[in-house]
Amino acid sequence: QRKGAMEIVSASSVLSPQSAMAATVARELGMTSVTIVGGTTPEKAVRNKAVRLAQEAGSEIVAGPAVGYNPALQAAARNWVAANPGSWQMPYGITTPGGASQEEINDFLSVGANQVRNLPDPVVDLVLPFGSGNTAAGVLHGLLKFGAPSGLETVRLMTIGPDRRKWLEDRLNKAGTPLSEAPFQIDQIYLHPVFAEYGDAMPEKLDGITMHPTYEGKIVRYLNLVEPEWWTARNGKTLLWIVGGPLP
């Protein structure tokens, strides 16, 4: 908006919360928004909760490519921006593109990094969902930049999709907080694809909190079934980082 954008354009799966997020931000900033869907019609797309919430936030739902594959969706968004001056495309996954500058990467990582200041002490085991890697990158950047809780021993990366470890390490290297300098251990636990595919939904509750079925719900179910000692006997020293709850 500071650079003159008047409209946010979002293109993602109809199951992704990105469209609802982008539309809500646009509304709060007094901007218009467009949600591009693929392989369906606007009338059918709004049957999905995220797209319906985007529409309720004022977004225009636009039929894009004949298929719902991400490359086709992002191309449709680029074409929309090219044809509509003042539009800005929300990067897929709400993150900085691969060729982003170090300044842009640091700005993005700072959003999650600053939340690390809210971590209680003691935390011995920190459990992080590891899908796109964006939240994990921000949290780890904050732990390395601001310092981890004094008792933190292990960060558990719960890998719920295709492995993004190299991407994570490259991003932290660019931000000046290499993972190799971490004063704690990194334990990467693979749920995908042996325990569950990325798109599998596993609704769960923990301590009265409803978990997102694709992310934390899947992790909680896995940990309750496998029962690692650090989870079953957590005694207030194991922290599960919640990326976001299910859409209302």
- Quote the pLDDT of residue 57: 97
Spatial CB neighbours of 81, under 8 Å, sequence gap ≥ 6: 9, 87, 88, 89
For the sheet with 32-37, list strands across it. 60-63, 32-37, 7-11, 87-89
Full-model pTM: 0.78
Mean pLDDT by 10 residues, the chain (248 residues): 94 90 96 96 95 97 91 94 96 76 87 90 94 93 94 96 93 93 97 92 92 93 96 92 79
Q: Tokens standing for 248?
A: 């209302």
- Quote the pLDDT of residue 87: 97
One-letter amino acid of 181: E
- Quote the pLDDT of residue 38: 94
Q: Distance between CA 172 and CA 65 in Å, rounded?
A: 35
- Quote the pLDDT of residue 106: 87
